[in-house]
A = this chain, B = another copy of it.
Amino acid sequence: MQFEVVDVPIPEGTNVIIGQAHFIKTVEDLYEALVNSVPGIKFGLAFNEASGKRLVRHEGNDEELRKLAIDVAKRIGAGHVFVIYIRNAYPINVLHAIGRVPEVVRLFAATANPLKVIVAEVEPERRGVVGVVDGHSPLGVEGEADREERKAFLRKIGYKL
């Protein structure tokens, strides 16, 4: 078994969501989940069909994001994995809708940080995601002033009252 680390580019203004599902209908259902969630969302998504024709299936309403999703899905190369890039929306707007898609098994990451996906290859063409590296390790522990700043920030941008 070998491990490979796949880099996931995050263009300015985008977020990426990576997960695992289990049926070719996933592509169409994820498309619907995304357009149902946020008016004006832009996105591209790709899904690794794991049997039959074994194609990277894809949908979206933004060609740049669709190409990115296809490229990342292909480089991960693990069956039944999907990759979604979104713009004009954030993961908190769409994660629950994605979770309600009946084919979705689990999520690996939702982030705008530098992301790496750790993939295990157990034999040629047999790969699985084993983890993600989402951003960087912490440098220290929040103190009282940091906490006040955190709370004030969330209130300033309107997420909390």
Contact = CB atoms under 8 A, between A and B. Distances in A.
Nearest to A80: B134
Contact of A22 (B36, B70, B79, B110): B110
B131 A93 contact: no
A46 to B, nearest CB: 8
| Chief secondary structure at chain A's binding surface | mixed
Contacts of A95: 102-105
Interface residues of A, number: 89
A137 B103 contact: no
Given A1-B118, A79-B134, A120-B130, 5 more contacts: A23-B90, A50-B136, A53-B139, A56-B141, A92-B102
